[in-house]
């Protein structure tokens, strides 16, 4: 059987499952087989106000997935999520295409991604109706495994077909969202984090630190010197009564867990009031 015949047969299988509970697992298996990957997770950003998991399965030999934790707030720092939600980028991306160079030394990586079961991933970001979107995350689980450019190109070659099928399927299962969803309010809560005590520039530096950018990249993004970045970070840490990036990450997650839901109120206020 030729490669083209095999791919055609696989997608025919997926098409037969459209509109049923078996479609998403089938398309996930098809993409894994095509890219010679170990696993896939399908996350829907829409349908409900927070992300939902449309497909995931336990990873052999790995600890229990931390996806439940991801849904409560860390998704805001996910490079794939930010590419679609903030930058409007859709298509096929490797983690290396989107994450900052210092990603694997970030607190997001150390405290969540490192434990999610994937060593590397390649995401198919697909725009749906009403500003909803999905990420079909194709994962490699072997220690040190990395996606090659060729694997991403292969997935890109069938992206349009996959996206069309997913739009048809999810149009039947997604409901229109309210104008201002909880997810959108959480976007604003990230920007408002520390607003009650920090200056605007200090908040910008803190947000970029949370996203895993190193000092040099923060300086480039904000158009300021490295020394100025260090000074803003030092002042911000002092005001927040912390001394490290790890403490900043945990403070943000704790504050988010106490957040009142008001998008224009610093999440720290509710957290400090509850201490």
Domain total for the chain?
2
Predicted pLDDT of residue 6: 86
pLDDT given at position 178: 40
Instruction: Classify residue 77: in a domain, yes or no.
Output: yes
**Final residue of a domain: which of 138, 170, 202?**
170
Within a domain: 26: yes
pLDDT at 126: 97
111 & 210 share domain: no
Note down the domain range covering 265: 182-269
274 belongs to a structural domain: no
- Structural tokens at position 270: 């509710």
pLDDT for 47 equals: 54
Within a domain: 176: no
What's the predicted TM-score (pTM) here?
A: 0.76
Burial zone of 240 (CB within 10 Å; 0-12 exposed, 13-18 middle, 19+ buried):
buried
The pLDDT, as a whole number, for residue 131 is 82
Same domain, 191 and 58: no
Residue 275 has pLDDT above 60, yes or no: no
Confidence band, pLDDT 50/70/90 cuts, at residue 70: confident
Q: What is the CATH number of the domain that holds 64?
A: 3.30.450.40
Distance CA 234, CA 239 (A): 9
Question: In this predicted structure, what is the pLDDT of residue 1?
Answer: 63
- pLDDT computed for residue 57 by the predictor: 77
Averaged confidence pLDDT in the chain = 87
Instruction: List CB contacts of 112: < 8 A, sequence separation 6 or more.
Output: 66, 69, 70, 74
Q: What is the mean pLDDT of residues 263-268?
A: 77
Q: Is residue 136 part of a domain?
A: yes
pLDDT tens digits along 87-103: 999 999 999 999 999 99
Assigned token pair, 47: 């349908």
From 146, 170, 194, the end of a domain falls on 170
- Whether residue 193 sits in one domain with residue 161: no
Indicate the range of 88-97, 120-129, 169-178, 214-223 predicted with least confidence: 169-178
pLDDT digits (tens, 9 = 90+) for 38-67: 999 999 997 556 888 889 876 555 544 578
101 shares a domain with 56? yes
Domain boundary among 124, 148, 170: 170
Helix axes 200-210, 245-257, angle to 10 degrees: 100
Regarding whether 187 and 142 lie in a shared domain, the answer is no
pLDDT at 60: 55
Look at residues 271, 265, 252, 250 and name the one whose alpha carbon lies nearest to residue 185.
265
User: Among 162, 179, 74, which Cα is nearest to 125's?
Assistant: 162
Would you state the pLDDT for residue 176? 39
> Does a structural domain hold residue 70?
yes
* pLDDT value at residue 263: 62
pLDDT, position 190: 81
pLDDT digits (tens, 9 = 90+) for 95-153: 999 999 999 999 999 988 988 889 999 999 999 987 889 999 999 999 999 999 999 99
pLDDT at position 2? 77
């Amino acid at each position: 059987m030729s490669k083209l015949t095999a791919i055609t047969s696989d997608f025919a299988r997926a098409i037969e499952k459209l509109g049923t509970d078996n479609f998403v697992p089938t398309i996930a298996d098809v993409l894994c087989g095509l890219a010679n990957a170990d696993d896939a997770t399908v996350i829907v950003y829409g349908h409900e106000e927070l992300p939902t998991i449309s497909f995931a399965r336990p990873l052999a030999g790995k600890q229990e997935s931390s996806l439940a934790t991801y849904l409560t707030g860390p998704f805001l720092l996910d490079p794939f999520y930010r590419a679609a939600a903030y930058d409007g980028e859709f298509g096929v991306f490797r983690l290396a295409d989107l994450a900052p160079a210092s990603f694997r030394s970030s607190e997001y990586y150390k405290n969540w991604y490192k434990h999610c079961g994937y060593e590397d991933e390649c995401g198919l970001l697909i725009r749906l109706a009403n500003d909803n979107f999905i990420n079909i995350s194709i994962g490699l689980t072997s220690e040190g495994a990395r996606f090659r450019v060729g694997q991403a190109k292969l997935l890109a070659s069938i992206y349009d077909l996959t996206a069309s099928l997913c739009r048809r399927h999810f149009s039947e299962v997604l409901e229109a969202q309210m104008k201002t969803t909880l997810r959108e309010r959480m976007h604003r809560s990230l920007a408002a984090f520390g607003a009650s005590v920090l200056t605007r520039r200090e908040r910008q530096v803190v947000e970029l630190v949370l996203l895993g950018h190193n000092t040099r990249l923060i300086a480039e993004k904000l158009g300021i010197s490295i020394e100025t970045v260090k000074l803003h970070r030092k002042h911000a840490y002092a005001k927040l009564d912390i001394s490290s990036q790890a403490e900043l990450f945990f403070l943000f997650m704790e504050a988010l867990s106490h957040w009142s839901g008001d998008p224009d109120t610093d999440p720290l206020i509710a957290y400090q009031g509850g201490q």
